Amino acid sequence: MTTPRIGIIIGSTREGRFADTPAKWLIDIANRRGDAQFELVDLRDYPMPFFEETRSPAMVPPANPAALAWGRKMAELDGYIFLTAEYNHSVTAVLKNALDYAYVEFNRKPASFLGYGGVGGARAVEQLRLILAELQVASLKFNVHINAHEFMGILMQGNTLADYPYLETAAGLMLDDLVWWANTMRAGRRAAPAEPVDHTTIARAAGAAA
Ligand SMILES: Cc1cc2nc3c(=O)[nH]c(=O)nc-3n(C[C@H](O)[C@H](O)[C@H](O)COP(=O)(O)O)c2cc1C
């Protein structure tokens, strides 16, 4: 059986973003493993407008070509690691917008997180979990948080993430766990490829009951 495919999604697109630093660090660590195929997924490559579809992607696929490409990429993957900054105690708008543009592509897959900021992006990660619950994504316990100490050490003192070896330990735990879930949920989807419960199914069931 092939190893699962895991996408590391870069959740900031702004010029001069910090996101590139943890993205490169994490993909290098991940690529030293042989138990999954890891790839960076950069939201800059999917320039979606602020959501303007006529219906939810839970009901019909989006018309926007970048959103369609984004959905196809999410469908290819068996698990996700969301790299998230914290903007005003939440996820970046560009990441929330991207999540709004797909639905079934995410269903019944696991996600882990790498957060960064004053409190390691923890508030953004917790908000992200709530959003992902609606997309039927299983959000996992073990994550990486780059806190003010490391964040400022890198920005102000020229340190690198390698100067904080406990972060690599955290990344290892996260990847071990995520790969287990990605394998397990992929096997589950293949064994029982039942139509995921989405809004269409609910509407149909409600119609049948009426
Ligand atoms: C609009 C905005 C809001 C921010 N709000 C927070 C915040 O609530 N908490 C925090 O820890 N950092 C906050 N920051 C600082 C970011 O953590 C910092 O700018 C970081 O580099 C953003 O990630 P990026 O460079 O990959 O976009 C904010 C930055 C911006 C631009």
- What is the per-residue pLDDT across 100-138, written as a single tens digit (0 to 9) for each? 999 999 999 999 999 999 999 999 999 999 999 999 999
55 ligand 1 Cβ < 6 A: no
Q: Which domain holds residue 50?
A: 5-209
Number of domains into which the chain is organized: 1
pLDDT in tens, 48-85: 999 999 999 999 999 999 999 999 999 999 999 999 99
Q: Of the given ranges (35-39, 138-142, 184-188, 192-196), which has the lowest mean pLDDT?
A: 192-196
Q: Is 147 in the pocket of ligand 1 (CB under 6 A)?
A: no
Average pLDDT for residues 184-209, to the nearest whole number?
A: 72
Distances (CA, A) of 163 to 14, 25, 116, 158: 26, 12, 16, 10
Model confidence pLDDT, tens digit, residues 146-188 = 999 999 999 999 999 999 999 999 999 999 999 999 999 999 9
Query: Which whole number is the average pLDDT over 26-43?
Result: 98
Q: Which atom of ligand 1 is nearest to the CA of 19?
A: 26
What does the angle CA 104 – CA 41 – CA 75 come to, to the nearest 5 degrees? Answer: 20
CATH number for the domain including 179?
3.40.50.360
- Supply 26's token pair: 């994490």
* pLDDT for res 1: 75
Top pLDDT among 202 and 43 is at 43
Which numbered atom of ligand 1 lies nearest the CA of 89? 8
pLDDT tens digit sequence for 135-150: 999 999 999 999 999 9
pTM given for the model: 0.93
Q: Which is the closest atom of ligand 1 to the Cα of 83?
A: 26
Residue nearest atom 4 of ligand 1, based on CA coordinates: 87
- The per-residue DSSP string of 116-139 comes to ESTTTTHHHHHHHHHHHHHTTEEE
Cα–Cα nearest to 85, from 21, 170, 175, 167: 21
CA–CA separation, 2 vs 104, rounded Å?
Answer: 22
C-beta of 87 in contact with ligand 1 (< 6 A): yes
pLDDT of residue 201: 61
Q: 17: CA distance to ligand 1 center in Å?
A: 9
In which element (H, E) is residue 35 found? none
Q: Where are the beta strands (DSSP E) in the chain?
A: 5-10, 37-42, 79-84, 109-116, 137-139, 144-146
